[in-house]
Amino acid sequence: MIRNMAVLLAVIGLVAMFLPMVTDFQERENLNELAADYVEGSINDLNTPNVVTSVIVTYRGLDTLGEVTVLFLATVGVGLLLKGRKEDMIRISSSELLGTTSSVLVAMIMILGIYIFTHGHLTPGGGFQGGVVIASGFLLMLLSNVNVKMNHSIMHFVESFSGVAYVGIGVAGLVLAIGFLNPGILPLGRFGELFSAGAIPVIYSLIGLKVGSELTSILVTMGGEK
Partner 1 sequence: MIPVIIIGLGVIMLAAAIAAVYFKSLLASIISAGVISLLASVIYLILGSPDVAMTEASIGSGLTTVIFLFALHRVRKGKSDD
| Interface ranges with partner 1 (CB under 8 A) | 50, 52-53, 87, 89-90, 116, 124-126, 128-129, 132-133, 135-136, 139, 215, 218-219, 222-224
* Smaller CB separation from partner 1, 77 or 224: 224
* Smaller CB separation from partner 1, 38 or 128: 128
**Shortest CB 163 distance to partner 1, Å:** 20
**Shortest CB 176 distance to partner 1, Å:** 29
Using alpha carbons, select from 71, 62, 224 the residue that is nearest to residue 159.
Answer: 71
* Smaller CB separation from partner 1, 22 or 90: 90
**Shortest CB 110 distance to partner 1, Å:** 14
**Shortest CB 120 distance to partner 1, Å:** 9
Residues 6+ positions from 110 with CB-CB distance below 8 Å: 134, 137
* Smaller CB separation from partner 1, 181 or 220: 220
**Shortest CB 117 distance to partner 1, Å:** 11
* Smaller CB separation from partner 1, 55 or 185: 55
Residues 6+ positions from 33 with CB-CB distance below 8 Å: none
* Smaller CB separation from partner 1, 120 or 183: 120
Using alpha carbons, select from 53, 51, 31, 32 the residue that is nearest to residue 43.
Answer: 51
Q: How far is CA 63 from CA 60, 67, 149, in A?
A: 5, 6, 35
**Shortest CB 62 distance to partner 1, Å:** 19
